Amino acid sequence: MSEISTIDRYAFLTEWFDTEASLLKKFYLFFFPFDETLELYDVKNRRVFLKRTRCEGISLNELFIGNTVEIFCRQMKIVDHADDMTKKKMLFSMQKTFALIKPDGIDRIGTILRLICNNGFKISKLKMAKVTKDQAMKFYGDRIGQSILPYLLDHITSGPVLAMQIVAENAVNKWRELCGSFDPEIAKKESPNSIRACYGKSKIVNVVHGSESIQAASEAAEIFFPSDPAAVENAPMTSAVFEKSTCCIVKPCAIKEGKLGEIVSLIQECNFEVTAMQMFYMDHSTASEFYEVYKGVVSEYPAMVGHLMSGPCVAMEIIGPMGDETPIEFRKFVGPADPDIARQLRPHTLRARYGKNKIQNAVHVTDLPQDAPLEVQYFFKILSSTS
């Protein structure tokens, strides 16, 4: 590393699982913002693995700890900064904060997610969950002794919440500005376009929460997204109902393009309800296991696996007014797997609007009604319990 210039470049430690060798390999990823080129350096073998070159779709906004980026068909997970200079530069430019959509805002999650994406935030973690009184007390620990606390506890435990870790330049202040004053009446005067001004009803029922500092954001995130695997079982549980529902996955291509909010908005506008939601970073093992039913059946299977693990995806449990018919009706709403066919036959479907091709077709949906419970359980019982 000493021979590589440290001028105008960022350095990250990344990991790539080589499926052929069954080895986890570590690389330094050097990114040069001037011309948006990158270079990979093999840590173990101490040699350049990929000479400096451009890689379509890779920008500085994608390079933050916890994210997975696809570099010439290799899924590289960013696990740390590789030098102090990069760490200092990224502390402000890619600052993390904690955001929460409260129970009164769940029916507007699509709209709020769209605002988040349109205002330059990247979502690095996301989970819809049910909060217990003990967890709520921990979350509102700074309010102990205040008369408002019982009302805050009652509200946050009254229904599911959507917890997120979001990333942007000056994220803490930027998110609080987007939220507006905790008092919606004040928000309407000071920032009429803020979330609370538009949708808040009172100081308690005010749609969203925003952490006041980096430290507070980190502490709140630990409640919902514990860094210690042993603490996962004590985190708020999924809100999935596992009954009369189907599974939908917003794929990495749509997440990367900032379309999550738009897709969820359309789902909610068409009278489907999102009852569970979580962001996952799939590896080869989980992606191939999930798509196992397509192995040997469709020629696109390897590409489907590769795309699902190319970046974050968001799995959702969906229920609809048609009860047992939800899997069939939602499948019609999503449209044919091939977006070109969808645009010809059913132009208002999700894949017709957001799909590019049969692999990058924006969303996965359960094909057969009998598979719906299995797919929902895979994400919200099996994978959720380890995330």
User: Mind telling me the catalytic residues?
Assistant: 209
CB neighbourhood size of 235 (10 A): 20
Task: Give 272's contacts (C-beta < 8 A, 6+ positions apart).
Answer: 318, 319, 320, 326, 330, 333
Length of the chain: 387
* Cα separation, 170 vs 86, whole angstroms: 16
Q: How many C-beta atoms lie closer than 10 Å to residue 180's C-beta?
A: 27
* Angstrom distances, CA of residue 337 to CA of 47, 287, 350, 367, 371: 42, 18, 10, 10, 17
Distance (Å, whole) CA 284 – CA 68: 13
Q: Is 92 exposed, middle or buried (0-12, 13-18, 19+ CB in 10 A)?
A: exposed
Residue 339's H or E segment, with its range, is helix 339-345
Torsion sign, CA atoms 211, 215, 221, 223: negative
Backbone angles phi, psi at 223, to 5 degrees: -70, -45
